[in-house]
Structure 1
Amino acid sequence: MPLFSGRCLSTAKLVGKTALVTGCNTGIGKETVLDFYKRGAKVIMACRSLERAEAAKADIEKSCKDLSDTGDIVLAKCDLTSLKSVREFAQNILDTEPQINILVNNAGIMMCPKGETEDGFETQFGTNHLAHFLLTMLLLPRIRNSTPARIVTVSSRAHIRYGINLDDLNYKKRSYNAAEAYSQSKIANILFSNELAAKLKEHNIEGVNTYSLHPGVIKTELGRHLNSSLFTGARQIIGFFLAPFMKSPELGAQTTIYCAVDEKCANETGLYYSDCAVTAPAAKAVNEADAKKLWDLSVELTGLGDFNPFTVNDPGVKTK
C-alpha cells in the first residue's frame, strides 16, 4: 500500500441520480459502481462482456445485502472498440434513461500489441479516447438536461512520458510503440476534458463540469498485455518493483469517486486530479491549440458531422 493515498470522504447521497460507468466489471470501475450503488444511485454498467458484468453486479449486490438505501444496477453492452456499438449503446440510453447525472469514462486498455479497432484506429487511441469522445458527445444533450452533472474521464500519469502526434494518431507513418501509444491516449483524455470544459463555457452551459484524473498505480487487469508488448515476465517484474507504490482497486477508485460526488470540487471544471486533489498535468496536456485540433480531428474520425451536442434541442436525436 502506498505511503499516501487520497480518499473521498464525502458522505453525499446519490438517491434519485443516474450514473453511467464504462468498463466496470473489474478493477477501479467495479469499485466506482459499488460506491455509487451504496450512495443510492441508479448505476448503468457499460461493459463489453455482459457475462462478466452480470457476475460483477451479483458480487456488488451480495456485498451490500445488509445495507439499506442502496440503488439499482443496470447492465448494458458497449464495446468501445466499435463505434457502431458505442452509437447503439448511446441511443439505447437516450431511449430509456430520462437523466444522466454522472458519466465516468473509465474503460481503458494499456500497452497492448499493435492492433486496430473495428473502425481502423490504433487500439489504445481508439478505445481510450475516440470511443469515449463519441459516447460523451452523443449523451451530452441528455447530460445538459440533468444538471448538476459531472463528466469524469480517467487518464493516467503515464501521459507525462511521451507526446501526442496529431499528424499520425493511428501509427500509419511511424513505428508502433505500445508505451508511447498508451501515453498518447492518456494525453488525449486530458486534452478532451479540458476542451470540453472550454466549449461548455463558450456555449454558456452551466451545471455540467468536467474532470480528468490519475487514479494511481493499481493492482488490476489493466497491465495484462505487458508480457506480450514488452517481454515475457515483464508484468511480474514491473509489479515486483512497483508493489510498494501500488493501490488496491478500492483506493484507486477514490479520485474518480471524489470528482464524481464530492462537494469540494462541485464548482471546479476542466482540471486534472490525483489523490483527490487538483494537480498540474504535463504542459503538453494543457496545450490549447492541441486540444482544439484534437477535438476537430475527433469529430471527423468519429463521423459526428454537423451534429452539435451543445445546441441540439432534442436530447433523443438520432445521429447517423
Structure 2
Amino acid sequence: MSSQQILPSETIIHRYGSSLAGKTILITGVSGDSIAGELAIQLSAAAPHLLILSARAEERVTPVIEKIKSIAPSVNTRFLKMDLGDMSSIRKAVETLHDIPKIDHLACVAGVMATPYGTTKDGFETQFGVNYLANFLLVKLLLPKVRAAGAGSSIIIVASSAARSGKVHFEDVGFSEGKTYDPLVAYNQSNAARVLFVKALAEKLGDQGIRVFSIDPGAVQSGLQRHFTPEFQAMVAGAMASGGLVDLDGRPIEMPPWTTKSEGAATIITGMIDPTIQGHNGAFLHNNAVANDELNSHTRNHDNQVKLWELSEQMLHEPFAV
C-alpha cells in the first residue's frame, strides 16, 4: 500500500479515470458549495454516460450542471430530488429511477454537521438520521442496481475524521430526545455509524466484486460548516492551536491542514476506482490510502457492526438482507 498523500482529483482521474467512461454515477448532496458538487465536475472529465445529481432542491444542483455542460457537453446529467431527512422522500426518489437499469457508482456524500438539536420527519435525531440512517436505506434500495452493474461497481460513504472520536450510543442514539444532546458528540456518533455500516456491508457482500469504502475527505471548507456558531469555531480553533484532541481510545489526533474541494473529492474517487486498494474492501480511506489504523476500537469492533445493522433495521421497521 502507498502512504497517504493529499492529491487533487485530477491526479486520480489521470491515473485511473478511463474505467469511468460510459458509467452511470449517482452522487448525493450536490451543490455549488460542496465536495459532492466538485466530485461531479471532476468526474465529468472522465466521460461517464450519466451523472445523477441529488439534492433537496434543483436550484442547488443547477450551477454544477451548468459547469458540467460547459466543460463536458457530451456527459448526460439528471437531477434527483431527495431529502435525506425524510425516508418517504428517499423511497420516492428511488422509484423515479425505474428507467435506470444499473448504477455503477453510488457516492453518498450528503450530510449535516453540528446542527442544533432537531429530528427528521421520521423522528430520528437529525445528524444520525441524515448522515447515517438515510444512507442505510438508500443503499438498501439501490443495491440491486449497483449489483446489476457487476464487478467493479462501488458504494462510497463519506464520513469524517470525527469517526475517530465517535461511538454509537446504542442505548440512546437520540440523546434522550435532546436532553443530553451535544452537537459534536452527535456528529461523531453519526460518522462512527457510517464507518461501522461500511464494514458490515462489505462483509455481507463478500466476493461479489462491489467496492465499499468509508471516506475521510479531510478538512475541506464547504457549506457543511454552516451551523458553526462563533463559540464552536472558537473551541475548534483552540483545539487546533493546542493540539489537544484525542480519539475515543485516548490517542492524539493530529489536526489536518485545510484542503481544497478537489483534494477532498480525490479520496472518494480513489474509493471508486483505484485498483491498488481493492483487496481492502470495507476499509476507511484517508488521503487516498487505507487508514484503518486511524479508527478507534469501537468502530473496529465486529459486534458493534452487527449491533448497528440490527438497530437500523429496527428503527426503519424493515430488514436489509444482502
Contact 2:69 2:75 in 1 (8 A): no
Amino acid at match of 2:270: Y
Which runs of 5 or more structure 1 residues have no equivalent in the other structure?
311-320
Alpha-carbon separation, structure 2, partners of 1:103 and 1:268? 18
Q: Are positions 1:40 and 2:47 aligned together?
A: yes
Amino acid at match of 2:199: N
3-state SS of paired residue (1:10): helix
Q: Are positions 1:165 and 2:173 aligned together?
A: no
When residues 133 and 289 of structure 1 are mapped into structure 2, their CA distance, relative to the original with a 3 A threshold, is same
- Give 1:107 deviation, angstroms: 0.4
The corresponding residue for 1:5 is 6
Alpha-carbon separation, structure 2, partners of 1:276 and 1:244? 14
Alpha-carbon separation, structure 2, partners of 1:44 and 1:184? 29
- Give 1:244 deviation, angstroms: 8.1
When residues 244 and 136 of structure 1 are mapped into structure 2, their CA distance, relative to the original with a 3 A threshold, is closer
The corresponding residue for 2:58 is 50
User: Identity percentage over the alignment?
Assistant: 30
Alpha-carbon separation, structure 2, partners of 1:232 and 1:185? 18
Q: Give 1:30's match in structure 2, choosing from 37, 40, 43.
A: 37
Amino acid at match of 2:216: H
Alignment of 1:186-265 (within 5 A): 186-201=191-206, 206-227=208-229, 231=231, 234=234, 245-265=257-277
- Structure 1 outlier segments of 4+, above 3 Å: 232-244
Aligned length: 296
3-state SS of paired residue (2:187): helix
Which runs of 5 or more structure 2 residues have no equivalent in the other structure?
244-254
Q: Are positions 1:16 and 2:22 aligned together?
A: yes
- Listed one character per residue, the Cα deviations across residues 241-294 of structure 1 (whole Å, up to 9, x for unaligned) are 699810011111110011112222234311111000001222211111111111
What TM-score, normalized to structure 1?
0.86
Q: Give 2:318's match in structure 1, choosing from 295, 304, 312.
A: 304
When residues 71 and 235 of structure 1 are mapped into structure 2, their CA distance, relative to the original with a 3 A threshold, is farther
- Listed one character per residue, the Cα deviations across residues 282-317 of structure 1 (whole Å, up to 9, x for unaligned) are 221111111111101111212324x63x3xxxxxxx
Q: Give 2:80's match in structure 1, choosing from 76, 82, 85.
A: 76
3-state SS of paired residue (1:87): helix
Contact 1:37 1:73 in 2 (8 A): no
3-state SS of paired residue (1:253): helix
Amino acid at match of 1:216: G
- Give 1:141 deviation, angstroms: 1.4
- Listed one character per residue, the Cα deviations across residues 159-184 of structure 1 (whole Å, up to 9, x for unaligned) are 12232201111112651000000000
The corresponding residue for 2:102 is 99
* Structure with higher helix content: 2
3-state SS of paired residue (1:211): strand
CA RMSD of aligned residues (A): 2.4
Alpha-carbon separation, structure 2, partners of 1:15 and 1:159? 33
The corresponding residue for 2:252 is none
Amino acid at match of 2:34: G
The corresponding residue for 1:112 is 115
- Which range is displaced more, 25-34 or 108-117? 25-34
Contact 2:167 2:193 in 1 (8 A): no
Contact 2:167 2:298 in 1 (8 A): yes
Q: Are positions 1:284 and 2:316 aligned together?
A: no
- Give 1:210 deviation, angstroms: 0.6
The corresponding residue for 1:314 is none
